């Protein structure tokens, strides 16, 4: 028998009605509560995972667990304490650290959930996306959009750890998860040069290849955003006399599809923030959730009034409608990924400044 909620009533006839309603897999709205709340009823809680602990546990997994055990990825997922043990960082975002040892390979596969990598430290790994080899080094953002083949290779002598984000919980909620393993053959190995994606779409500011008429994909055709470019953009914003960034000590850039200016992928917005000590920015909250990765620097984040210190490698879950305020003790560089494009597309995006 189906499990259903049975609403009891003192009146015998009403009670019988409720029993029959439940028996037919129906529920009386007038007995239900908590459906329409004044503000979002958010199960995920604000949370910080310490970079130091993530690095240590990744290294121990590297010693004890072969990379090909289950899923071909040595990944520690952020499991939000509010989500009842699900391996999800927020309601819509998967966040994780991935560890790939020297000489190891994570073979190709593809899936409909889109993924991205932000490199917190180190270099030497390359990821092939639909066969195009992308080098990964500290501060780089690498995209593996929905349904693209991707594989990771570490030909160097040192292990590498990076931050992974996926829209998996969202795609799962939409019942749209598909997965396909590769045939086990590796993509041609990378030379140290640029990927095809960067040669075509990363040529220089405002320069796009001429004469392309291919239909635009749903994601950015540029698949690697190099730290040198991000760093220059942030430095430029802070150095611009009279700019908001210079005035507030907070610069931020949005990673965009160079052909359209839209977000890098339909479900995820990526940004890099730099806060200078003494910057002023009020607390703010918004609908939809985000993950923050501390790249460099030191400071603190206040989440719904609770202060957590920030150090390199720390990862933070910011659930929907959580008020956030950042403090920098030294120049603080934060990467963030959020589901904002989804909320915007659906007309559900809201922000409130000065909250909390
Ligand atoms: C995945 O494919 C990767 O390719 C990382 O590196 C994490 C988490 C869930 C599902 C697929 C990767 C993943 C993942």
Mutate to test the pocket of ligand 1, among 115, 116, 128, 146 (most ligand atoms within 8 A of CB): 115
Q: What are phi and psi of 322, to 5 degrees?
A: -85, 130
For residue 128, tell me if it sits in a domain. Answer: yes
Mutate to test the pocket of ligand 1, among 58, 68, 134, 164 (most ligand atoms within 8 A of CB): 164
Q: How close is the Cα of 321 to the center of ligand 1, in Å? A: 27
For residue 210, tell me if it sits in a domain. Answer: no
Residue 342 has pLDDT above 90, yes or no: yes
Compute CA 98 distance to the chain's CA centroid, rounded to the nearest angstrom: 13
> Which residues are registered as beta bridge partners of 126?
135, 153
- Structural domain harbouring 336: 47-183+220-353
Q: How close is the Cα of 73 to the center of ligand 1, in Å? A: 7
Q: How close is the Cα of 98 to the center of ligand 1, in Å? A: 9
pLDDT digits (tens, 9 = 90+) for 98-113: 999 999 999 999 999 9
Residue 3 has pLDDT above 70, yes or no: no
Alpha-carbon distance 71 to 108, whole Å?
Answer: 11
Of the candidates 326, 252, 323, 320, the residue with the CA atom closest to the CA atom of residue 93: 320
Query: How does residue 192 score in pLDDT terms, banded at 50, 70 and 90?
Result: low
**pLDDT more than 70, % of the chain:** 97
Sheet containing strand 75-77, edge to edge, reads: 75-77, 94-100, 160-166, 115-118, 141-144, 224-225
Residue 186 has a pLDDT of 83
Alpha-carbon distance 36 to 192, whole Å?
Answer: 55
Query: How does residue 2 score in pLDDT terms, banded at 50, 70 and 90?
Result: very low
Q: How close is the Cα of 249 to the center of ligand 1, in Å? A: 36
For residue 257, tell me if it sits in a domain. Answer: yes
**pLDDT more than 90, % of the chain:** 86
Q: How many domains does the chain have?
A: 1
Residue 194 has pLDDT above 90, yes or no: no
pLDDT digits (tens, 9 = 90+) for 162-174: 999 999 999 999 9
Residue 282 has a pLDDT of 87
Q: Which residues line ligand 1 (CB under 6 A)?
A: 73, 75, 94, 96, 98, 106, 111, 115, 150, 152, 164, 166, 168
For residue 97, tell me if it sits in a domain. Answer: yes
What pTM was computed for the model? Answer: 0.95
The residue ranking higher by pLDDT, 4 or 93, is: 93
For residue 26, tell me if it sits in a domain. Answer: no
pLDDT digits (tens, 9 = 90+) for 264-311: 999 999 999 999 998 877 899 999 999 999 999 999 999 999 999 999
Residue 37 has pLDDT above 50, yes or no: yes
Q: How many other CB atoms are there within 10 angstroms of residue 41's CB atom? A: 11
CATH value at residue 81 = 2.60.120.10
Mutate to test the pocket of ligand 1, among 58, 70, 71 (most ligand atoms within 8 A of CB): 71
For residue 96, tell me if it sits in a domain. Answer: yes
Residue 94 has pLDDT above 70, yes or no: yes
For residue 174, tell me if it sits in a domain. Answer: yes
For residue 191, tell me if it sits in a domain. Answer: no
């Amino acid at each position: 028998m189906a499990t259903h909620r049975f609403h009891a009533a003192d009146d015998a006839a009403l009670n019988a009605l409720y029993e029959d309603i439940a028996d037919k897999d129906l529920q009386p709205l007038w007995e239900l509560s908590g459906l329409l709340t004044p503000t979002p009823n958010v199960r995920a809680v604000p949370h910080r995972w310490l970079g130091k602990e993530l690095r240590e546990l990744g290294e121990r997994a590297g010693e004890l667990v072969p990379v090909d055990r289950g899923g071909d990825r040595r990944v520690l997922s952020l499991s939000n304490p509010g989500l009842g043990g699900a391996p999800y960082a927020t309601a819509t975002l998967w966040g994780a650290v991935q560890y790939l040892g020297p000489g190891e390979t994570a073979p190709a596969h593809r899936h409909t959930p889109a993924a991205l990598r932000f490199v917190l430290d180190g270099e030497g790994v390359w990821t092939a996306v639909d066969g195009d080899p992308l080098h990964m080094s500290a501060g780089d953002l690498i995209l593996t959009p929905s349904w693209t083949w991707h594989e990771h290779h570490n030909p160097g002598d040192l292990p590498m750890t990076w931050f992974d984000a996926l829209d998996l919980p969202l795609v799962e909620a939409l019942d749209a998860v598909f997965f396909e393993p590769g045939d086990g053959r590796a993509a041609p190995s990378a030379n140290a040069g640029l990927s095809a994606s960067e040669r075509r779409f990363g040529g220089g500011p405002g320069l796009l290849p001429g004469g392309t008429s291919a239909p635009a994909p749903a994601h950015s055709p540029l698949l690697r955003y190099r730290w040198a470019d991000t760093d220059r953009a942030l430095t430029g914003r802070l150095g611009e006399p009279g700019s908001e960034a210079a005035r507030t000590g907070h610069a931020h850039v949005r990673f965009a599809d160079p052909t359209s200016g839209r977000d890098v992928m339909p479900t995820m917005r990526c940004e890099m923030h730099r806060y200078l000590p003494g910057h002023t920015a009020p607390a703010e909250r918004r609908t939809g959730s985000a993950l923050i990765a501390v790249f460099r620097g030191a400071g603190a984040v206040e989440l719904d009034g609770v202060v957590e210190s920030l150090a390199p490698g720390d990862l933070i879950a910011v659930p929907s409608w959580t008020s956030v305020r950042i403090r920098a003790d030294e120049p603080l560089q934060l990467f963030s990924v959020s589901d904002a494009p989804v909320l915007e597309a659906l007309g559900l995006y809201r922000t409130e400044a000065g909250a909390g």
